[in-house]
Structures are given as structure tokens and as C-alpha cells.
Structure 1
């Protein structure tokens, strides 16, 4: 405020000097040019008006500047008081060599392993032999000899008297694997093949109650479901209730297990299961994995944590498949090799028996 008064006094002095100078100029003008008195007087009044506006503007700027300085002063005072209050804390932090303030880091999010899984992993089970795959890899040549009827299968022979005492049980599971993307686009596959497969499924299953069919890719099934009428939808629900039609795995796709991130594997499973729960009230409990490019131990672990009880795999090396067949270990419990505790999983068919083809 003191500064403002000084500027006001200084401005007033300037104003007086200017007025006096103008008066002298006006007086001289009257003596030198009496005919132009009216014109000179008008000009002097205009100059005074402009000067007055400038002085007023200067006073406004000084007032605004005063207000800004006052705000800065208050902020500095508040900051100083805050620093004094926290000086003890600041002095407690020693940034010298080897001494830094402690930062608290949140622990990573982990999926807990159930205790029963750990107990299970430490036991041997009568349902299957204890197979260590690293040992199997060491003894197999991984060659590809001519397998007869099927290039890399088996030379299929049998003794006609071998089954006289006990009949051979063969489980046939009608299914259709539909890739959402391969040689055609998703829509091309649906238009040319998938919709016809599902339409025929409804017709043929109703013709014979002994017939069964399974489906896994919900991306296709949801597109087909949106296109059919209520009568066909009711027929599908009845077939599910009586057990003729079953949804297996129920993921949006049959996920890749070779290079996919586990988050994507979980996300597509959630997508399919949410659709099934909303539209059919179905929760799959068996998994069907016949066409991924190899099988990861992550997938059975995720499925078990999701409530699945069994799964079927198909794409393993022919040498391993033949080895399992000769050792009668095609049905087994799958345990992961990481950590102290191991999660297990049954790799089997829906009803407990299967033949890998």
C-alpha cells in the first residue's frame, strides 16, 4: 500500500507539471495566434483527456500488481510455516551415501494354489503311472516311420480271438472342430459350413435319442444362436438337458497354447462362459482340446482352477502318442513342474476313458 501511495504522489506531480506546461503553451499560443485560439484550446483538451486515461490505466496496473505481490507474500508465509512444521521429518531423511528413504512397494498379485493340490502332488495314484516327461524325451528317437494305414500311426492288426472273453469298448464322440480363422474368414466359414453343421445337429439328434454331439467354439455358436428362431432354441435346450448335446471347454475359441499369453487364454474362456451362462445356463466341466499346436501345462492348470474335472488333448508328437499307447498311459494325471506344490489335472475323456487318435 505504501508503494501505491508513492506512485500516486509521483503521478500527481507529473500531472501538475504537464498541466502547467500546457497552460504556458496555451498562453503563448493566444499571444502568437489569436485567430487560432479556439482550435488550440480544443487540441489541448484532447491531449489532457488522453493523458488522464493513461494515468488512470497506470493506477489500475499498480493496484493489480499490488494484489499479485500480496498473494505471493501470503503463499511464501504459508510455505515457510509448513516447512517449519515438517522440519523434523525432513531432517530425519538422510540422503547421504548408503541411506535413502524407504519406499513401500505393493506385493505382486498371485493366484494361490490350493493346499489339497500340494498334498495330491506328493502321492502316488492307482489311476495311472507316475510318468516324468523329461525322462520320456530322453528315450524317444522322435522319428517318423511309415505307420501303415495311417502314415504316422500304427500298423493296425488284431487277433480275432483276443476279444472272445471280454468285448472291446470303443467310444465314438461325434464333434466338429470349427476354426474361427484359417483358410477362410470367420463369416465365410460360417456361411459355407458352420451354420449347416449346427442346423443338421438339431435335426439328427432329435431323430435318434442314442445320438450324441459336442461343441466347443462359442464364437460360432453364438452367431448361429442369434440367427435361429425360438423353436430351434428350445430344441437345443432340451437336447442339452437330456445329455445328447454337450458344450465342452466353452471358450470363445479353442485357444492356442504355444504362444498365447495366459491372460488371453483366461479372457477368451470368460467370454465364452459368460455367454453360455446368460443364454443357456450351462457351465462346461469337460474340456476338448484337439487342434492347438502343442499343449501347455498352463492350460490344464487354468481349467482346473476354473472348475473343470477332465480334458482331452490330441496334438502331441506321434512318437509320444505311440509310447503312451504301448505303455497304456494315455489316461493320466497332469501335474505342473513349477514350484514346490504341483497342481494336477486328469487328462481323460468325458466319461473317464478315451482313445487318443
Structure 2
């Protein structure tokens, strides 16, 4: 298989993609989550006449986008094609990627502000000195408005037409001039964050396509992209934000992304604990600034009686809400001195860093403000699913030789249907035998039922699964196996409850993690 790894202009390995040479390639798309999903798959191909077909040979609609070597230079040997897939839970689906004279890709359109591209290739590109009107992106759920700098300023809910301020900005933190300074373990800023200042308007690239549209702006230290997917699944309900950060030339500075909104959060915000449960936080003005920064593993949100604004993250970062309606996340740090906590060096081995987020604005209903004072909080079901899809993306595998069984069936699905929306399959693995290290005839099934806030309307077009009050029929789990027995066990599989017996239905309570010994035949 002739594959070439292409890097982004910043040469970060996190965003590398394979370049597929079109000599008849089979593409296997895998869904690692336990729910059926609709997603956009993007790959790089070596020809503009690429065509994607299903296993049955039916052509699939594709969007063709440019591959950028630099901010304003297009590759003449690589093209990005994107297409829509609907994959069963934990399933595989097979496509063929061929070069065809009959291919009819939908070419993305580009508008370039404050810059130009010399060789446009096959794409339609319009050069504009500066935006005369606000830049907009929209799908069936939301409409986004951007300022002249290419940064998002407003979200419009298509359901009720209401406008919400959601303003993205960047800022710098310095370090204190005292003896103890910021280091690998200490955050000791020199006061409030200072705005990220740029003397001229950045180069802004706007792309409009069939399956997604995006706005990319290029600053000295950040390449910032906001993408909106034009699909009916979960991915279409939130806004994807990508930041590629490079502060390798800075000295004792930390860069943050700030989202300012019209949500009346009243100095309260919420962060997750290791991706498991949500903890309410309160910003204390009497405490030092650094005492109001908390770890964010997967999400953080602010809310009022009518709306909730959630920032979902694909990586662990520090987050705070220092002012009403704000969420601020620190993306990278470059600190030149040791903070005397054992590392014996500063933080000056920085790499180009890729950060990926999603912004989700939801409408709340029937809210009792007394309940806001409780010690725990819960995400909505849509928020849970968005976080799951963000952290467990669909992935692709290219192969020259067809996989006979997959090619015959076109798809593979080990589950009969999606697990309930609030059930997460933590693990399903074989259990090692106590004799000679062999595998036994049992497997370990570990399930987690997520707790969610039901006071959010679940859009029927977004969710491809349902909830069952934590109940799962054992005989309806697998499509290719019959469950001979399923017995509750301790989380470590070392012990079984005294009343352990073979059960026909799994019943989980919210926030519960349960382990079972399962025998298949």
C-alpha cells in the first residue's frame, strides 16, 4: 500500500493524515463507540478525480477540499475528500476509493480575507481585502457570526431565532515579579490576563462545503479554526473549535482562550472530575486568581435559568470563569525557571500543540434555582454524546487487499442495536485462565451508566439511541453470539457477591459502574 504521511504547516504529528494513492483502495471505517452514529469522514487522496463507493458499488456523495501546505499555499498533489457515514455501534463499514472519470465531487468554495493565494488549482477562490459584512456560517441547528478578525462573536439558535453573544478571544498571562515564579507545578500570574494584541488584521480563510464549512484565522501564535458540520447527527448541534498553538519563542508567558457570553452565570461554573462527575465551582474574588483555576478533563460549563454553555475538550487543561458569563481555558505555558517542586527545570521544551474543543449552547427548561445549590451537577444527554464522540472519533484504515467477509457483508456490527444513550461500554475483554496463563471461556463486561440532566430538550434528529431506565436485556446484546450466562462480579473480578446468580437483565443505577462475568456460545 502506497501511503504518504503529510504534515500540517506547523509540522505537528497530531494532525497528520495518510495520503491514499488511487490504485483501488479499500477503506474500512470503524466506530469505537457503543451507539450508532452519523459522522463526516475525511481522507487525503492523490487525485482530484477520486470517487468513493459503498461496498455494493453505489457512489457516495463527497466534498472535495484543498490541502494547505501553508496558510496561503495549496498542495497540487493532495486533495481532501469528505463523505458522510452512518455506522452501527462498535461496527465497521467498507468503502472503495477509486480514480474515476465519472466522479463528480462537490468542490468547496473559498473566500480569502486580508491575503491571497497565487495558484488556486481546481478550486473557486475569491480574494477580498477586508470583510464588508460579517462572516457567517450556518446549518439547520445554529448560525454563527464572526468579526473582521475571524473570531466568533455570536450564535443564533435556529429553533427560536434568538441571538446569543458567544465571543472567542485570546489572552496572555505573565508571571509575578516576586521571588517565587510560575513553573511546571505553580501558576503565579502577574495579575489578570492581558488581551492578545495584533497590529494588523489576520489572514482569514472561509470555506463553504456540502458537509462542513469553517473559518480559519492565522495569528502569530495561534491558528484558530471554527468548523460547523452540516449534518443531522449529534456533530451538527455543536461548534468544533481547533487551535494549533506555537509559543516556542515566548518568555514566561501562558496563552489562554476565553469565551465570553451573555449567560448570567453569577460567578458559578462547573467542571468534571476525571471525566466522571460534575463538580460545581464558585469564583472567589477574595482569593488569588490562581485559586480559581481548576482542572478540566472533558468538559466545563456555565449556566443560568434559561441556557447552558458547555465547552467540551479532547484534552485535559486548566479552566476558570473569572467573570460573569466567561469560560477561560489555558492552552499552553512557557516558563523559564524551576518552581522548586522537584522537576529542577522550567517549562521550555514546548512543541506545536493541537487543541480540539466543541462549544454547545443548550436551552434549559423547568429550572428550580434552589437545585442549583446542590453539591453535584449533570450534563445533558446531548452533551454526554458530544463528549463521547469527541473523545472517541471514527477512524479509518486503508487496505489494498479486500477483507473477504467485510467486503461480502459491506458492514460488521457485533451488537444487535445501540446501547442506551446513557450506557457506556467501559470494557469487554477475555479473562485469563488461572492455569498456564491461557484464556478462560469467560469474558469481563464492564458497564457505566451516566447520570444526566433531563431538563434539556433532546432533539429527535440528533440522537440515534434512546434511554431504558438503565435496563438492558442480556439476550439482545450481541448479534453473533448467544449469552450462556451472565453473573455479577466485583469491579476487579476477584470476588463475586454472596447472592451472585445468572441474570437475564442488567439493571444499572445512574453513575454506577458494574462488572459482569459473561459466557458466550
TM-score normalised by L of structure 2: 0.16
Structure (1/2) with the larger strand percentage: 2
Q: Rg: which structure is higher?
A: 1
Between Structure 1 and Structure 2, the one with more helix by share is: 1
TM-score (norm 1): 0.21
